[in-house]
Structure 1
Amino acid sequence: MKKLGKALLFLIGIFSWMAADFNLGRKKHAACGKTAEKFPFRHSSISIFTNGPSFFGDFFEDIRQAQKSIHILFFTVKRDAFSMDFLRLLMEKAKAGIEVRLLLDRIGSKDISHLLIRDLRIMGVHVSFAAVPQFPFFFYSSQTRNHRKITIIDGKTGYLGGFNIGKEYMNGNPKLSPWRDYHIKVTGEGVQDLQTQFLKDWEISAKENITKPQAYFPMLAKGECLQQFVSTNGAGLEEMMLKIFNSAKKHIIIGTPYFIPSKRVLTGLREVLAKGIKITIIVPKNADHLFVKEAAYRYFRVLLKEGAYIYQYQRGFYHSKILLADDTICDIGTANFDKRSLFLNQETNCLIYDKSLIALVQNLLEEDIQHSRPLTEDMLANMGIFIKIKERIAALLSPFL
């Protein structure tokens, strides 16, 4: 009994420390007064990828063709065969004299060992980790991740979206295949903003003052698509979402792997429904993380009751990060529709205002709906006891999901 009592006291102490650490860290972060960083409106050329083979074929070829610099930031790089092919390509380019910088989130890319980092550096790749957990708020800082996925090649070509580096993104995990995602390739004026964001993150993480930064900013031609990049750091994403909601006159479509909105965002969606505006939400049928699927159910009950349409994607795993309002604005980027992206993560999104590109995205989303099945109030009401228990647990964990 004494051992059990000591164990319980130890667990209570650990959980109390975690709660205090998280709350104090969050208060300190809020006191900094950070908001979204809105880059200027730009004219760029944008193409969209929705599957791994087409995206990585283009992505790897652009890396092979690089002449001066390769700047890459990913949340996750694994250590499987596909990831090693990617890392070997970077080593080949660095050995050939191309400046290669690779920035990885410390938690998301935890599989990358010190030996592998050493090998990359020996071959000339500059490697650093972003968002390394640190004291005095170790637990809080372990939750605030750099979730951006940005690549800039020669300062002329940029990539942004949902794909990371790992076999599952190339349909190598049977449970999550085929993988459906949205990732954009950017040329034209907007590339300079992706470069600016990468260099900011690099300087903070690597503690390196970049000299002669003008070398990374060549002259860029205008593209045909009006767009704006927005970066957030645990603040500002709510306001951006609410602004998009309020702009809608006919319909809103949300594509996300995780639906765990804040109170303000949920209220905003309910206000949209009250105006008679159609809301469609697309989520995966199968989850890639524990409890995230069940965490969405309590919000779905509210929205379904008030007229929203919710679809579960059946054809593999659904990892898109899309928010579309009418034919006027489309948001594609790295932010999920969850509390992590809203209040913890560093994210970058692209707001697109080009009607032809928005129409293309809407057609792709209609395809997603064709490969989905509706989720209904009756289905949620008839969930088994095990699912209901998981839903209760998920509600408690929702700030971290």
Structure 2
Amino acid sequence: MKILIFILIAIFVIGAFLTFDYKFGRKKQLPTIKSNAFPFRESNLEIFTHGTDLFNHMFDDFNHAKKHIHVLFYICNDDRFGNEFLSLLKKKAEEGIEVRLLLDWAGSLKVSRKKIKELQSAGAEFAFSNVPTFPFYFYSSQVRNHRKITVIDGKIGYIGGYNVGNEYIDLDPKLSPWRDYHLKITAEGVLDLQQQFLLDWQEATKTNLRQNKIYFPPLEKGRSRHKIISTEGFILEDTFSTLIQQAKKSITIGSPYFIPSKRTLDDLLDALKRGVELTIIVPYVSDHILVKEASFPHLRAIIAAGANVYQFKNGFYHAKILLFDDQICDLGTANFDNRSFFLNHEINCYIYDLQVIEEVKLILKKDLQDSVKLSLEDLNSLSLFSRIKEGVAKSISHFL
């Protein structure tokens, strides 16, 4: 009995401490939160939906780099592909190319420290982003840099959902094939990716390189109108909410994790009431514990209100995309969940070019063909174990 009481007291104390840490850590951070809504740009946009194609193009661009390579990823794993990625960057540094690699501290815990030291010995610069700090260690450990930015010579940029690891090039049997979306950007929009990378680099290293013109060569306009917006756990909810409220005919959301805030869920329900067609694509297979179950209460609400929800079954669906009235497409790093809304640093590209959007629609059509429709009956006939998991997930959904 005494042991049980001790355990309960310990749980209470730990819970109270974490609550205090989170509440006051966020209060301290809110005044410092930044959002960069860059100007409208005209660039050339190329969409990749398979990891092998994406990284073949990216690595080819690395090999042709003349001056510098700047890379930011959330995850770099200590596996075959992660080591191949680091070895290529090392090779370019040995050739005299400026190489800077920025990885999120939590997302890339598995990265090989030996490989990092080899990279630095070759002349490359390396830093971890968003390293937890005291006094609010728990809160700062939850604020992750979820951006994925690559810039080569200030002329070629990449942004999207892929990270670096075996699973992203279909070498993980459980999660293969991996379905994701990533953009290659050339022309003037690369300027904004470079700016954001150097801002993140400055935050991590206290080194300001943004005044160096070598990183900002003259760029021509491209074909497609778009805007880059980076967020830090605050502005994203406002942006998505506004777009949902403005939708007149249709909304399509693709996300590996569907855990909306109360505000965005209410916005989606209001959109359904005014006759907007809502389609949502989520994975059938989950890559993280409890995130699938955390989505169930929200999916029940929108299906009951008339939404069409599909579970992608041809591998794992990790894409992050929103399409409004076939006029505006958001493609980037942000999931449709509380973590992206209120904690993570994200970067998204809002596309206004109808030709690119037609390409997006074909991609979404293919993904819907590889999905099965989810019904209320499916969600209401869960096993006891799944219901228990749903209850646990609901209590911690803010951190999933």
TM-score (norm 2): 0.98
Q: Per-residue deviation at 1:212?
A: 4.8
**1:55-134 mapped onto 2 (5 Å cutoff):** 55-134=54-133
Q: Report the residue type matching 1:200 in the other structure.
A: L
Conserved? CA contact 2:75–2:104, under 8 Å: yes
- Counting only pairs closer than 5 Å after superposition, residues 316-395 of structure 1 correspond to structure 2 as 316-395=315-394
Q: Distance in 1 between matches of 2:284 and 2:86?
A: 32
Q: Residue type matched to 1:252 in 2?
A: I
Q: Distance in 2 between matches of 1:189 and 1:323?
A: 23
Q: Deviations over 1:7-35 (max 9, x none)?
A: 43333222211111011111222244x35
Partner of 1:168: 167
| Contact 2:250-2:326 at 8 Å conserved across structures | no
Measured against aligned partners, the alpha-carbon deviations of 1:183-218 in whole angstroms (never above 9, x if no partner) come to: 000001100000000000001101113275211000
Task: State the AA in 1 paired with 2:43.
Answer: S
Structure 1 residues 236-288: Cα deviation after superposition (integer angstroms, max 9, x where no partner): 10111122212322111000000000011001101110110100000000100
Shift of the 400–211 alpha-carbon distance from structure 1 to 2, 3 Å rule, reads: closer
Partner of 2:22: 22
Equivalent runs, 1:130-145 vs 2, <5 Å: 130-145=129-144
* Amino acid corresponding to residue 51 of structure 1 in structure 2: H
Report the secondary structure of 1:296's partner residue. Answer: helix
Aligned to 1:13: 13
User: How far apart, CA to CA, are the structure 2 residues paired with 1:243 and 1:26?
Assistant: 24
Contact preservation (8 Å) 2:83, 2:115: no
| Deviation sequence 1:37-64 (CA, Å, 0-9, x none) | 2000000000000011111111111111
SS of 1:287 mapped into structure 2: coil
In structure 1, give the amino acid aligned to 2:89: L
Following the alignment from structure 2 to structure 1, what is the Cα–Cα distance between the partners of residues 122 and 35? Answer: 37
| SS of corresponding position for 1:378 | helix
In terms of mean alpha carbon deviation, does 377-386 or 95-104 score higher?
A: 377-386
Matches of 2:307 and 2:210 in 1, distance apart?
A: 52
What CA deviation, in whole Å up to 9, does each residue of 1:63-99 have, x standing for no partner?
1111100000000000101110100000000000000
* Alignment partners' CA distance in 2, 1:360 and 1:59: 21
1:105–1:2 CA distance, 2 compared to 1 (3 A): same
Offset, 1:4: 4.2
Whole-angstrom CA distance in 1 between matches of 2:12 and 2:242: 42
Alignment correspondent of 1:273 = 272
Query: What does the per-residue CA deviation read over 1:111-159, in whole Å, with 9 as the maximum and x for residues that have no partner?
Result: 1244332221101110000000010110000000000000000000000
Q: What is the CA distance between 1:2 and its match in structure 2?
A: 3.9
Asked whether 1:296 is paired with 2:295, we answer: yes
**How do 1:174-323 and structure 2 match up within 5 A?**
174-210=173-209, 212-323=211-322
Matched residues in 2 for 1:6 and 1:306: separation?
46
- Whether the 8 Å CA contact 2:195–2:210 is kept in 1: the answer is no
CA distance in 2, matches of 1:279, 1:161: 23
Contact kept, 8 Å, 2:251 with 2:278, in 1: the verdict is yes
Cα contact 2:255–2:336 (8 A) shared by 1: yes
Give the letter aligned to residue 248 of structure 1. A
The answer to whether the 8 A contact 2:102-2:129 is kept is yes
Secondary structure of 2:42 counterpart: strand
Q: 1:211 to 1:320 in 2, by over 3 A?
A: closer
Q: 1:212 to 1:236 in 2, by over 3 A?
A: closer
d(CA) in 1 for partners of 2:155 and 2:362?
28
Q: 4+ runs of 1 displaced by more than 6 Å?
A: none
Q: Name the CA distance, whole Å, in 2 between partners of 1:325 and 1:80.
A: 38
Provide the rounded CA distance (Å) in 2 between the counterparts of 1:186 and 1:375. Answer: 35
Aligned residue identity for 1:102: L
Deviation at 1:3, TM superposition (A): 4.2
CA distance in 2, matches of 1:9, 1:308: 44
CA contact (8 A) 2:311 2:372 kept: yes
Q: Aligned-pair distance for 1:328?
A: 1.0
* 3-state SS of paired residue (2:396): helix
In structure 1, stretches of 5+ residues that fail to align are none
Report the TM-score when normalising by structure 1: 0.98
1:326 CA displacement: 1.6
Counterpart CA distance in 2 for 1:324 and 1:370 is 18
> In the aligned structure 1, how far is the partner of 2:318 from the partner of 2:182?
10
The CA deviation string for residues 319-346 of structure 1, in whole angstroms up to 9 with x for no partner, is 0000001221000000000000000000
User: What is the number of residues matched between the two proteins?
Assistant: 400
Contact 2:226 2:350 in 1 (8 A): yes
Residue in 2 that maps onto 1:44: 43
Task: Give the counterpart letter for 1:182 in structure 2.
Answer: Y
Query: Do 2:74 and 2:146's aligned partners in 1 also have CA atoms closer than 8 Å?
Result: yes
